[in-house]
Structure 1
Amino acid sequence: MTDDASWVPPLRAGRKPAGQALLGWLEDPRAPRICRVGGSSGSGRTHLLAWLATGCPPHNPKRARRVHAYLPAAGLTVRSATWLLADRLRTTARTPVQLAAALKSAPPRVLVIADLDRAGGSALPDEPRRIVTELLAHLMHVPDVRLVVEAAEGSPAAVALGELDVEVAALDLDDPRWTEPDRFAAWCAKLPGTPLPAEQVYPSPGLARLAARVHDGAQPDGGLSLDPATPLRDRLRSTAAAWWKTLPDELRSTVRALAAVEHAVLAEEWATLPGAGDPDAVRRAGELLPPHADGISWRLHLEALAAEATAEAPLDHAELVRALAAGIPRTPDGRPDHSAADPERLGTLLRHALVAGTAAEFLADPGFVVHADPLAVTAALEHTPLTEGSLAEGWRLAGPGLLGTGAPAARAATLHAWLHGHDPATDRSLAVAMSPAPRWFGVWRHRPRNGVIHGLAAGRGPHRGRVLVATQDGVRLLDAYTGQDLGAHLGRLPVRPATLACAEDGALLALDNDGVLGMLPSPAPTPGPDGATAVAGWAAQQLGQGLTALATPMIDGNPLVVVGDADGRLTCFREPGKPGVATEEPVHRTVTALAVAEVDAGLMVVSGGTDGAMRLWKPGQPPLADPIGARPFTVTAVAAGRTDHGVLYLTAWADGFVRLLRLDSARSEIHLRLGSAVRFAAIDPSGRVHLALLDAVFCVYVPPLE
C-alpha cells in the first residue's frame, strides 16, 4: 500500500486499487454508512474483507482505520449472526433489538460481514435476506455503526441492502478498474499448474487458479481457451466444465463428496465423507483442485465448479444422512457415541437432515445436540416450535453462551441449568453428557412473570435462607434451596438498583445508575441509630452521588458499608459521623461491583471495574498489587463467600463469561456461560451460587474438587 499505510498486509493479485478504495471509505466520515463488496464467485471478495479486518484491528493507533468486528456469515442464521456479532463486540444479545440497544451507548463501530450470500446454507436459502432485514436494518438505527458487507450483485442479500433506508456504496471486483493488469499478470505467472494468459482470466483470481489446474488432469490439454471479451461468469462456467472434463473418472465421486459439505475440510475429514474413496483418491483429487484460502483445506468454493460436480448426480440428502449417521462411532451396547464423533461431521449430517426433513429425530436427542457443531444446531432449530422446557427453548435462551463454549460437557451443563426439572428424560440425557463429573450444575431456575430483574441479594438476618429479587413489581423472596417463590412482597425500592445489598438486620440498600441511594427498612430493625442503613446514609452524604457500588458486611457484630465510586476508589465506613478508610489510589477506572468475604486474615473486599479487573483489598492495607483476574470486558458482578470447602470468589463480565475461583492450594477455577451477562451474584455459606441475568435467576452448585 502507500507509505502512510505500510503496516497494512500486502494485497496480491493486483488488488491494491480495491484495497485503497476500501481504506478510503473507512477514513471518510461522509461516505455512505454501508459499503457492499460484490463480484462473481472467485473474485476474491472474502479475501479482501479478511485483509481489511486484519490490517485494521480494533486497537489500531490510526483511529480512522479500525474494524471492530469481522463476521464470516456462511452457514449463519439471524440468531447465530446476532449472537456471534455481539460476542465480537464484547457484549451479549439474544436478539437484533438487544444488540442495537447495546451499541447505542457504545463508541462508533465498523463491522465487516463476509460471505453473506452463503448464510443459512442450502437448508435455509432465505437467511441472507433475513440477516439484512432483521439484523443489519436494526444496526442501521444506531447512527455510529458502519458496515462493510460482502454480497454479489443481484443476490437476495444485495437486493435487500438496496432496499434499506440508507445509502449504499458498491465496490464490484469484476470491474477491471479495481485490479492492476501488470501485477495481476505477474501473480498469474507464478500459479501452480499451467497458467493461462492473464488477459483470458482477468480480473478473477479464482478463475485464474482453476484455469491453471485444467491442464493438470489426466488429459494433458484440456483444450481451454477463453475470450477476454466473454462475460466473466461465462468464462467461469467454461473453465469449470473443462476442469470436470479432464478429471479422471475414478475421482469424480471423490470431488462430488466434497460438494456435500459447505465448509472447508482437511484431507482427513474429506476422506471420511460418503463416496470420497480412500485417502489416496483424496490426495490425487486435492492435487487437481485449487486449495482453500488457508492452503491446507479444500472446498468447492467456486459456484460453477460445485454446479458442475452435482449436475450429473444431484445430492441425495436423505442418502447422505443415512451414510453420515452410519459413520458415527458406537458404544459397546450399540448406541451412537456422539462424544467420539467429529462435531463438524455431526453438523454436516444435521444440515442435510434439515433439507431431507429428518432433522427432528436428531434434535430430540440432547446427546447429539450438545456434541454437534453449535452453528448447525442453531440453524436446524430455526423453525422448530418453541415449547416451554424444550431443548429448542433452552438453546434459544442460552444460545450466546452455547456458541462461546467449546466443550460439549459445558454446553450440556448450560442447557441443564435452563431446563432442569421440566423433563426427567432430558435431565438424564444432559447429566450423561456432563459426565463423568460436572464441574458445576444447575440446582434451580426462576423466571419472574414480568421478565425483567432489577436486582438480587442473598438474604441475611430475618431473610436468611432466602434470595431477594427486585423486579418492577417490587422485591420478592425466593427459597434459596428450591427457588420457590414464597409469595412475600417486601415493597418497591425507591430506586432501580445497579447494586443491591441486604444488611444483617434485613434492610435492603440499593444504588441506582446515578449513584442515588435508596433503602427498604428492615422488617425487624435493631434498636439504636447505628445500623447499616445509617452507615450507608453517612457514606452517601460524605461521597455524594459518585457512588457506583456498595456492600454491607457484618464484622464482630458491627455493620460496615464498603462503597466504590466513579473515580475507581474504595472506601470502608464503620459508623456514622466518622471518616471512612479509603484506598490511597484508584484501584479501577470506575468501580462496577463489590462484595466482601470473611477470610482467615479478616475482612476481604472484592471489587470489579470497567477496566475488567477483579481486585482484593483488606481495609487499612494497600490493595493487592496485581488483580486476581482480568479480561478486556467490564466486570458486571462479583461475589465472595466462605463455604465448607474454602472461600469462593466469583467474577462476571459483560460478555457473559463467569469465573469461579477458590484460592486454595490447587487454585481451582471453573468457567461458565449462561447466555447473557450476569448482572448480580451472591454466594451463600452452603456453596450455592445465585446468579441473576436480565430475565432469570439461577442457583448453581460447585462441587469440591476431589
Structure 2
Amino acid sequence: MTATRWARPAAGREPAGAALLAWLADPSAPGLCVVAGGPGCGKSALLAWLVGHGTRAGTGRERAVHAFAPLAGMGVRGAVWTLADQLGLVVRGPRDLLARLGADRRPVTVVLPDLHAAADPGALAELVLTLGAHDHVRLVVETRSGTDVHRQLADSRAAVMDLDEPRWTDEARRRSWHAPTASPDPQPPAMVVELDDPAALCGADPWQVTAAFEADQDEHGGLRAAWLRAGQSLCREQGSAERALVLLTALGDGADPRLRPELARLAAGADWHLKWSRIRGDMTPPWPGPVFAMTTAGLPAGQALLADHVGVPRTVRTTDGTPVGRLPQLPGPPVAFGVLTDSTLLALDHQGLLSERTLPGAVRPTGIAALLDDGPTPAQRLTDTLRTHFARSPGTALCATPGVVAVGAADGTVHSFTPGTPDEPARTAALHTGPVTALAALDLPVGDDGQTLPLLYSAGSDGQVRAWAPHTDPQPTSVAERTCPVTALTAAHTARGLVLAVAWADGLVEFRLLDDGETRHLWPGTAVHALALTAPGSLLMGTDDRLLCLRPR
C-alpha cells in the first residue's frame, strides 16, 4: 500500500514536525516526548497536525496515532475512558488500562494535548509516567512551559521540544503563512453540575461530571458510585435517555430509593427497559458474584445457571435474580456451559478441560428399569466422546441443545456432535482465524412431525460471528463482524422470535431479532463475559460487578 502523503504543519513548524516523525521512527528514543512552550506558540496546532495525519487510513505503522485525549478540563478517569474507547478496551480505571496495555505488547502511540489545563494535572502526569514505563508505548504530551507538570515530565528523561526555541520554526515559511490569530490556549468554560440531580447529570457534559465526581468524595445518594462504575459508557456520545438507562443499570440497592424511579422515568425513551439488576454489594436479593459463564438453555423455566471466577455454579430466578440454589464447585472457572436432556451439566474451563455435574431434579431410572439398563446412557457416552476429543484438542467454547453439542478450538475450528448418536464422528468446520471464543445453537423445526435441524453460531477472536448448519457447508459470509474479539454469544427461540445476542471486547452488546432483521445496541460500561436469553425475550448480561436483565422496547 502506498504511504499516505502528509501535508506540511502550519506556521512554519516543519522542523518541529520532522523532529516528531523522526522520534516516532527511532526505537532508541525516549518513549515520552513533551511538547512545551508559552501561551499561543502553536503547541495545540502542531499536535492537531500529528493526530490528523496519524489517524488516517493508510498511515504507516511508525507514524500511526492510536489514541488521543484532549485533557483540558478532564480528570484521570475521563482520560482513561477516552483512550480505552479508542483502543477497543473496556476498563474501570487507570489500573485496568495499565494492566491491559502491559499485557498487549503491540506498539501504541498516544497523544495528550493540554495537560496543564486538565482538572488534575499532577495525577495525569503520574499516569503519563507510568504509561511511559512500557517500552512499547509512545506518548506525545503537550504542556505549557514553566508549569509544575512541565517540570515533572521534563525531569523524567523525556524528549523535550520547546516551541519557543527558534530551531523548531522555519522563519521564512512562518512569515509567508497567513492565518487568523488564535486566542492562546482557550480554557473550557467552568460548569457547575448539580451532582444530586439525575436529570442534570444525564444532560450535562459527561467529562466534566466525571471530573466533578473524582474531586467530590460525597456519594450523592449512590449516584457517584454508579457513575464511576459505568462511566466509560456514560461518557460516550448519546442522548440523555440512554445515559439515564446506563446509570440506572449501575445503581446499587443501597442508593437513595428516590433515584431508581426517577432514572427509570428519564430512561423511558431509551431502546431498552431495565427489568432488574444485581450490583456488587447488593443485599436484597444478594449479588451472586462475578459472572463468567451463564445459560438458560436446558434449565427449568424461569431459571438461569451462572458461575463465578472460582467455579461455583449457582441458579437464580430470571424474574428478579433471587438465588435458587448452588451446585458443587467445579475444578476450575468455566468459560461455557451446556445442559444435556438428562440434566447433565457440562462445563468447559479456561484450560479446555470438561467437567460434569448433575442438575437438581434430574430423573434417574429406578427399580427393574435400572437393573435391565445398567450400561452407559447416551449422555454418558457423549460425555466420554467429548473427553476423548478434548484430550486431543483442548476446547475454547461449548454449547448444547437437544439436537446438537458443539465445541470450539484454538485453531478456529468448530466440531459438532449429535446427542442421539454419540459414537458417530464429529462434523468439523474451519470458521475462524484464531481461537473460537463463544458458541450458541438453535434447533430449528423442519416439519410438523417434531423433527429439527441444528443451527450453530460461532464467534472468534477475529471479531466474526459465523453461522453453520452441520449438515451443510458454513455460510460464506459472516453474520456480524467487527474489529475486536467476541466475548459472549447466545441464541434462542423467544416470544419475539429467533434472537441472537453478541458481546464484544470493546463493551458493545448487540441484540439481533433474526426474523425481522432489527438490531438493538447497548454499552453497559463494563466488559460482558456471559449472555443468556429468557423465553419472553429478555437478555441477561453477566459482568465482573453486575448481573443485568434488560428487555428491548
Aligned equivalent of 1:465 = 303
- Per-residue Cα deviation, 1:457-516 (whole angstroms, up to 9, x for no partner): 326346862332324272222222111134x33122112223333444444333333323
Q: Please state if 1:594 is matched with 2:439.
A: yes
Deviation at 1:529, TM superposition (A): 3.3
- The answer (yes or no) to whether the contact 1:567–1:591 under 8 Å persists in 2 is yes
Letter in 1 for 2:243: R
Change (3 A) 1:141 1:501: farther
Change (3 A) 1:690 1:184: same
- CA distance in 1 between partners of 2:221 and 2:348 (Å): 35
Change (3 A) 1:505 1:53: farther
- The answer (yes or no) to whether the contact 2:313–2:329 under 8 Å persists in 1 is yes
More helix by share: 1
Deviation at 1:673, TM superposition (A): 1.1
- CA distance in 1 between partners of 2:264 and 2:302 (Å): 31
What's the secondary structure of 1:498's corresponding residue?
strand
Between 685-694 and 424-433, report the one with greater CA deviation: 424-433
- The answer (yes or no) to whether the contact 1:593–1:635 under 8 Å persists in 2 is yes
What's the secondary structure of 1:103's corresponding residue?
helix
Q: Where does the alignment leave 5 or more consecutive residues of structure 1 unmatched?
A: 121-126, 193-208, 210-289, 291-299, 307-346, 354-358
Change (3 A) 1:672 1:425: same
Aligned equivalent of 1:101 = 99
What's the secondary structure of 2:398's corresponding residue?
strand
- Per-residue Cα deviation, 1:596-647 (whole angstroms, up to 9, x for no partner): 1234554221221122122222111122222222221111111111111111
More strand by share: 2
Deviation at 1:50, TM superposition (A): 2.2
- CA distance in 2 between partners of 1:382 and 1:533 (Å): 55
What's the secondary structure of 2:276's corresponding residue?
strand
- The answer (yes or no) to whether the contact 1:454–1:498 under 8 Å persists in 2 is yes
Q: How many residues align?
A: 526
What's the secondary structure of 2:191's corresponding residue?
helix
What's the secondary structure of 1:43's corresponding residue?
coil
Letter in 2 for 1:457: T
The counterpart of 2:148, out of the listed 148, 156, 179, is: 156
- Per-residue Cα deviation, 1:327-374 (whole angstroms, up to 9, x for no partner): xxxxxxxxxxxxxxxxxxxx95xx432xxxxx4xx2222111111121
The counterpart of 2:400, out of the listed 552, 557, 566, is: 552
Aligned equivalent of 1:242 = none
Identity %: 33
Change (3 A) 1:518 1:24: farther
Q: Please state if 1:140 is matched with 2:132.
A: yes
Aligned equivalent of 2:523 = 673
Aligned equivalent of 1:9 = 7
Matches within 5 A, 1:237-316: 290=182, 300-302=183-185
Change (3 A) 1:479 1:47: same
Aligned equivalent of 1:169 = 159
- CA distance in 1 between partners of 2:546 and 2:84 (Å): 20
What's the secondary structure of 1:74's corresponding residue?
coil
Q: Please state if 1:620 is matched with 2:458.
A: no
State the superposition RMSD in angstroms.
Answer: 2.7
- CA distance in 1 between partners of 2:498 and 2:514 (Å): 7
Larger radius of gyration: 1
Q: Please state if 1:352 is matched with 2:191.
A: yes
- The answer (yes or no) to whether the contact 1:507–1:520 under 8 Å persists in 2 is yes
- CA distance in 1 between partners of 2:40 and 2:508 (Å): 38
Aligned equivalent of 1:56 = 54
Deviation at 1:542, TM superposition (A): 2.7
Change (3 A) 1:548 1:129: same
- CA distance in 2 between partners of 1:94 and 1:417 (Å): 15
- The answer (yes or no) to whether the contact 1:538–1:576 under 8 Å persists in 2 is yes
- CA distance in 2 between partners of 1:450 and 1:440 (Å): 22
Letter in 2 for 1:128: P
- The answer (yes or no) to whether the contact 2:378–2:422 under 8 Å persists in 1 is no
The counterpart of 2:263, out of the listed 430, 433, 442, is: 430
Q: Please state if 1:113 is matched with 2:106.
A: no
Q: Please state if 1:481 is matched with 2:319.
A: yes
Q: Where does the alignment leave 5 or more consecutive residues of structure 2 unmatched?
A: 282-286, 366-374, 447-452
- CA distance in 1 between partners of 2:545 and 2:62 (Å): 38
Change (3 A) 1:490 1:72: same
Q: Please state if 1:688 is matched with 2:527.
A: no
Aligned equivalent of 2:222 = 390
Matches within 5 A, 1:22-37: 22-37=20-35
- CA distance in 1 between partners of 2:440 and 2:543 (Å): 18
Q: Which of 1 and 2 has higher RCO (CA within 8 Å, sep 6+)?
A: 2
- The answer (yes or no) to whether the contact 2:35–2:160 under 8 Å persists in 1 is yes
In the superposition, the TM-score normalised over structure 1's length comes to: 0.69
Change (3 A) 1:446 1:598: farther
Q: Please state if 1:186 is matched with 2:176.
A: yes
Q: Please state if 1:508 is matched with 2:345.
A: yes
- Per-residue Cα deviation, 1:409-441 (whole angstroms, up to 9, x for no partner): 111111122227544421222122122465332
Change (3 A) 1:654 1:436: closer
